[in-house]
Amino acid sequence: MRAARHHGNGEPLRLETIADPKPGAGAVVVRVLATFVSPSMKAILADPGGYPMPPAPFVPGMSVVGEVEAVGKDVQGLSPGMRVYCDPHIASANLTAPPDGAFIGYFGFTPAASAILARWPDGGFAEKAAFPAECLTPLGDAGHGVEPAVLTRLGHIGTGHEALRRGGFEAGRSVLVTGATGLLGVSTVLLALAMGAGRVIAAGRRADVLARLHSLAPRHVRAVTVADPVKLTEEARGADILVECMGRTQDASALTAAIAALRPGGSAVLVGGGGALPLNYGDLLMRDLVVRGSLWFPRRAIADILALIGTGALDLSTIKARRFSLDQANDAIAAAALPERAGGFEHCAVVP
């Protein structure tokens, strides 16, 4: 099969012909229909910055939508021909193992992840890929109605779904999303509306994307720029849940303003990736606030999201995927990293 492989930091991927993967114990081989291209991939493949990576050469590529081609003898519930979402997140299941979470075909979060990445090194920039069976969720009828390249966004949608759940979301609640104009932010706004939010305050940098978010549901979505912290606090005052999606930044003004807007007893869920975190002990105490992190999502989230798609509550027609062939994998990585791309309504996908 053909695959685009990473041989060394800072080097372009090489399109090569390699052996087809085999479905070993507990594994499934899928024919890749589309693979998500992370905006951070260009930077991480150039310099992983201390994160462990699979042993080179390996096939990069995160969230995969594919069709089951073969299953290991011990695998039940999955069969050839099924269309599936392949979740790249993997970690040891035994409680005595050190934290070793990783993204297959990408990087791990701690040094202990090196072992699991050596076992599962290859992602979806190939014609076929092997995954642990537990990483696969059948798409069913709901998934068949959406283009595979669009469905590679399920990783970001799942992250937003879990952030809302951990924030104690219920229908009718008000949700403040900072970093709302990026991939994760747009995904979270769409989810909050689909799940019945009474009010969504979308706070971000790009005026054009904020206007699009407002137009989705003018009665429910308020748009505000993070460049004006005072206005952000005023517009979002009384919010039940903050989902922080801004990513790495040392400018804490927007996060400070967003936390100040929360109602007493509100929750701030951090999913953006890091940066300055200004917390006032007395304020957290007196207003009974919860501040917590949320990394990725449990497997069940994809099935819940597919149910929302199937009922029509979650409409992905506004999401567009820029499609790149396998021989254009390097172009896809470069395009995904461009800050001037079309904001969070568009992402890049490699389609073999």
Residue type, 319: I
- Is the pLDDT at 142 greater than 90? The verdict is no
Q: What is the pLDDT of residue 260?
A: 96
What would the pLDDT profile of 35-81 be if each residue is shown by its tens digit? Answer: 999 999 999 999 999 999 999 999 999 999 999 999 999 999 999 99
Q: What is the pLDDT of residue 55?
A: 97
Q: What is the pLDDT of residue 340?
A: 65
Confidence of residue 273 (pLDDT cuts 50, 70, 90): confident
What would the pLDDT profile of 293-335 be if each residue is shown by its tens digit? Answer: 999 999 999 999 999 999 999 999 999 999 999 999 999 999 9
CA-CA distance, 180 to 183, in Å (whole number)?
Answer: 8
- Is the pLDDT at 127 greater than 80? The verdict is yes
What would the pLDDT profile of 7-29 be if each residue is shown by its tens digit? Answer: 999 999 999 999 999 999 999 99
Instruction: Give whole-number Cα distances, 349 to 66, 80, 125, 175, 299, in Å.
Output: 13, 24, 10, 29, 22
Residue with tokens 């929302």: 308
- Is the pLDDT at 102 greater than 90? The verdict is yes
Q: What is the pLDDT of residue 80?
A: 97
Q: What is the pLDDT of residue 247?
A: 77
Confidence of residue 180 (pLDDT cuts 50, 70, 90): very high
Strands (E), the chain: 2-5, 14-17, 27-37, 64-71, 83-86, 89-90, 102-103, 128-132, 136-138, 174-178, 199-204, 221-225, 239-244, 262-270, 290-293, 320-324, 346-350
Residue with tokens 């200004």: 278
Q: Which helix (H) or strand (E) holds 235?
A: helix 229-236
Confirm if 322 and 331 have CB atoms less than 8 A apart: no
Domains of the chain: 2-153+319-350 (3.90.180.10), 157-293 (3.40.50.720)
Collapse the DSSP code of 214 into the 3-class scheme (helix H, G, I; strand E, B; otherwise coil) and give the result: helix
CA-CA distance, 136 to 29, in Å (whole number)?
Answer: 10
Q: What is the mean pLDDT of the chain?
A: 95
- Residue 258 has φ and ψ, to the nearest 5°, of -70, -45
pTM of the complete model = 0.96
Q: What is the pLDDT of residue 144?
A: 82
CA-CA distance, 65 to 253, in Å (whole number)?
Answer: 38
Confirm if 125 and 61 have CB atoms less than 8 A apart: yes
Q: What is the pLDDT of residue 278?
A: 81
Confirm if 54 and 22 have CB atoms less than 8 A apart: no
Instruction: Give whole-number Cα distances, 2 to 6, 98, 159, in Å.
Output: 13, 35, 31
CA-CA distance, 11 to 144, in Å (whole number)?
Answer: 36
- Is the pLDDT at 268 greater than 70? The verdict is yes
